[in-house]
Amino acid sequence: MTDPSKAMHIKLSGELPPEPVFDPRIRRAPDRGYNLNKHDTIISIKNALRYVPSELHNHLAPEFLAELLSRGRIYGYRYRPPGEIKAKPITEYKGILEARAIQLMIDNNLDFDVALYPYELVTYGVNC
C-alpha cells in the first residue's frame, strides 16, 4: 500500500492567468448541454477547483459555473497557454518515452492546425 504522506500533490500557481482571448477563426466544441442538479453542479465545481490554490476559489468558482452553464463542461479556459501550441519531435521532450509521447499527443490536441477543438482539449480514444 502507498504511504499517503508520500502522495504526489499537484497545485496550479497562485498567480491567476489572464482571461482567455479566443480567435474567432478557431473551431470551438459545441455546447454539451447542462443537465446537472444543484448537488452535482457543486461537486463539478469543487472537482475543478481541487488543483487551484484556495485563494483563487472565490474568483474562479463563478467562472467555472459560467463555463458549465454555457458550454456544458468546465474547461478551465484561463489555464490554456495563450497562443499557438505545436508538438515538437518526441526527442525534444524530457522524460521516459511514454511520458514524452503523452506530452506530444496533448500538444497535438492543443494545436490550432491539428486539433478538432483546440480550446477545449477534447481527446478521443477507442478500444480495440
Claim to verify: residue 38 and residue 71 sit in the same structural domain: yes
Residue 87: inside a domain: yes
Q: Select from 79, 101, 117 the last residue of a domain.
A: 79
Q: Which residues are CB-neighbours of 74 under 8 A, at least 6 positions away? A: 44, 45, 48, 64, 67, 68
**Domain membership of residue 100 as a residue range:** 83-128
Q: Are residues 65 and 105 in the same domain?
A: no
Per-residue pLDDT of 87-97, as tens digits, reads 999 999 999 99
pLDDT band at 24 (very low <50, low <70, confident <90, very high): very high
21 within domain boundaries = no
Band (4; pLDDT cuts 50, 70, 90)? low
Query: Could you give the CA distance from residue 4 to residue 106 in angstroms, rounded to a whole number?
Result: 29
Full-model pTM: 0.77
* 97 and 64 fall within a common domain: no
Judge if 67 and 54 occupy the same domain.
yes
Give a yes or no: residue 55 inside a domain. yes
For 33-88, write each residue's pLDDT tens digit: 999 999 999 999 999 999 899 999 999 999 999 999 999 999 999 998 888 899 99
Residue 18 is assigned to a structural domain of this protein? no
Task: Note whether residue 2 is domain-resident.
Answer: no
- Please give the average per-residue pLDDT across 104-115, as a whole number: 91
Total domains in the chain come to 2
